[in-house]
Structure 1
């Protein structure tokens, strides 16, 4: 992962700098996944992390109209839902 300055990496743009990286539904889902302990699935070497890297910067996609972003959003929602269910099952207090 890059040094962490603005525009170095989508992960730090979203979580450290609060900059947009994909579109707001995807960015919000990534924040939720992070909050639920899913950083391992978002890492550069993980399949989802590689996919995020390939879709990031420079983004010329029309936010919700791009089919790749719609597919990404579905993958992120599935992961978020899985992590949320696991957290509830483990006794975490989650919203």
Structure 2
């Protein structure tokens, strides 16, 4: 984890937070495969995956995880590029002449 997330303390905190919220920091070994997006997004996806796995262990974990906001997926995605525009919303420069 330290090597893959390049030692970034914020990303490492994202990954550890679901286990820390329930007091299981040293109780579980976690093996994860993440692909796509950047390292920040992958760290948050790993956090969501760990939280969902802890729900499968015991349904009583739902309330503390929900209270910390660990069971909510960030639904924002990149907007598609529209025809005639340079990017999703950026129009080509207007020229009067």
> Is TM more than 0.5 here?
no
Task: Calculate the TM-score normalised by the size of structure 2.
Answer: 0.35
The structure that has the greater radius of gyration is 2
Task: Calculate the TM-score normalised by the size of structure 1.
Answer: 0.35
Q: Which has the higher contact order (CA 8 A, sep 6+)?
A: 1
Structure having the larger proportion of residues in helix: 1
